């Protein structure tokens, strides 16, 4: 069993957009095979917002399968294509994986 975390530090003006994104991601994970739980944690500071997606999976492969779903890959392709014309609201992204030890 593993726990995956993905933390996004975003510009304050991206708060509403990211609330919608993380809400969709949590729902998608919860309905995906072998996802045991999923939630989003939120913290707000003066200039930035932090969204941390925390999910628990049967295996790392299960999480990778969720990442490889066609709609997820397409969103990343679109974001990469529009990178020049549309500046990102994401300042930093940090991904971590943990094994449950007890």
**pLDDT digit string (tens) for the chain, length 102 residues:** 999 999 999 999 999 999 999 999 999 999 999 999 999 999 999 999 999 999 999 999 999 999 998 887 777 677 667 666 667 889 999 999 999 887
Domain carrying residue 62: 2-82+89-99
pLDDT at 82: 62
Distance CA 67, CA 57 (A): 12
DSSP class of residue 30?
H
Q: Strand, coil or helix: what is 32?
A: coil
- Specify the number of domains making up the chain: 1
Strand 48-57 relative to strand 90-99, pairing: unpaired
- Domain containing residue 66: CATH number: 3.30.70.100
pLDDT at 74: 78
Distance CA 25, CA 64 (A): 14
pLDDT at 91: 93
């Amino acid at each position: 069993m593993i726990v995956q975390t993905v933390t996004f530090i975003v510009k304050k003006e991206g708060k509403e957009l990211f609330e919608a994104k993380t809400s969709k991601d949590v729902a998608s994970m919860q309905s995906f095979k072998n996802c045991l739980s999923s939630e989003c944690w939120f913290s707000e500071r003066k200039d930035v917002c932090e969204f941390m997606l925390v999910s628990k999976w049967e295996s790392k492969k299960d999480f990778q399968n969720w990442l490889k779903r066609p709609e997820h890959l397409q969103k990343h392709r679109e974001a990469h294509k529009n990178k020049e014309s549309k500046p990102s609201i994401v300042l930093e992204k940090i991904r971590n994986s943990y094994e449950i030890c007890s």
